[in-house]
Amino acid sequence: MSYEIKQDGKFKFIEVGEGEPLILHGLFGALSNFEPLIEYFRKRNKVIVPMLPLLELDLLHTSVGGLQKFVQKFIEHRKYTNIHLLGNSLGGHVALVYILKHPEHVKSLILTGSSGLFENGMGDSYPKRGDKEYIRNKTALTFYDPAMATEELVNEVFEITNNRLKVIKIIALAKSAIRNNLGEELNQVKQPTCLIWGNNDTITPPFVGKEFNKLIPNSELHFIDKCGHAPMMEVPDEFNKILSTFLDKLSSPAATV
């Protein structure tokens, strides 16, 4: 499935379907990562995927805060309200910073494999440029099933790590995520929150999901077996079913989570 990438001012994004906005973003930029989710939810929501400038911001603003400001400007520019905000990995971290600053625009929050409390990075050592096998192995660690690290995805990560400036920006984002720990602020998130975690996530392990569940007052936690750091990619059917049930409860007249 190919989607029209719309442009409005400086923002590029996908927007399909009708209904309450469901805004998605995550660490990996490829749209194919979100395709099963987009196709499922476009029948009930206006599904929006902004193209986050993960590697286009200047170095000073290459941070969780810089990405949050971009999302804030995008939402203001497009005048979205009653948003269901979904973030995977670093995208979850950005969603959390956004909801803490602008809770009035968000109806619910969905986090999957989110950073913001604890995360394992690419490891302590960075590969020599051109070490594709190293990149392949590291990318495979994102998933329970190593076959999910397709050639397309490995090439995407390899291209980034082969560019010195992009590597510096990735390191800057990783360091920003570690510095920007939200543990003491999560009790301020009042919106219904759905936490969907892979039981085999090695980057934000299951205990991280449990900690989010403990710290976010109105949250529910779902674990998926045989699943790593990106459930919406690895087990889309189970992910979509959990999220759909959560959204159904919110649209019920006596919605309680």
Q: Tens digit of pLDDT for each residue in 110-143?
A: 999 999 998 776 444 455 556 888 888 888 888 9
Place of tokens 């400038």: 53
- State the pLDDT at residue 30: 60
3-state DSSP assignment of residue 193: strand
Contact partners, residue 150, CB within 8 Å, separation at least 6: none
3-state DSSP assignment of residue 49: strand
- State the pLDDT at residue 49: 93
How much helix, strand and coil, in percent to the nearest 5, is found in the chain?
45, 15, 40
Contact call for residues 49 and 31 (beta carbons, < 8 A): yes
CATH tag for 6-121+182-251 (out of 3.90.480.10, 3.20.20.70, 3.40.190.10, 3.40.50.1820): 3.40.50.1820
Tokens encoding 124: 């302590």
- State the pLDDT at residue 253: 60
- State the pLDDT at residue 124: 45
Residue 34 to residues 95, 164, 214, 216, 252, Cα–Cα distance (Å): 16, 28, 28, 25, 26
Place of tokens 């969905």: 110
From 49, 52, 72, select the one nearest 62 (Cα to Cα): 52
- State the pLDDT at residue 110: 98
From 225, 189, 32, select the one nearest 111 (Cα to Cα): 189
Tokens encoding 6: 């719309």
- Rounded distance between C-alpha atoms, residue 250 and residue 145, angstroms: 33
Angle CA 86–121–37, to nearest 5: 25
3-state DSSP assignment of residue 74: helix
- Rounded distance between C-alpha atoms, residue 200 and residue 178, angstroms: 21
- State the pLDDT at residue 129: 58
- State the pLDDT at residue 239: 97
Query: Which residues of the chain carry a pLDDT beneath 50?
Result: 122-125, 255-257
The backbone region for 130, taken as left when phi is positive above 0, alpha when psi lies in -120 to 50, beta otherwise, is left
Contact call for residues 124 and 62 (beta carbons, < 8 A): no
Running DSSP on this structure, what letter comes out for residue 159? Answer: H
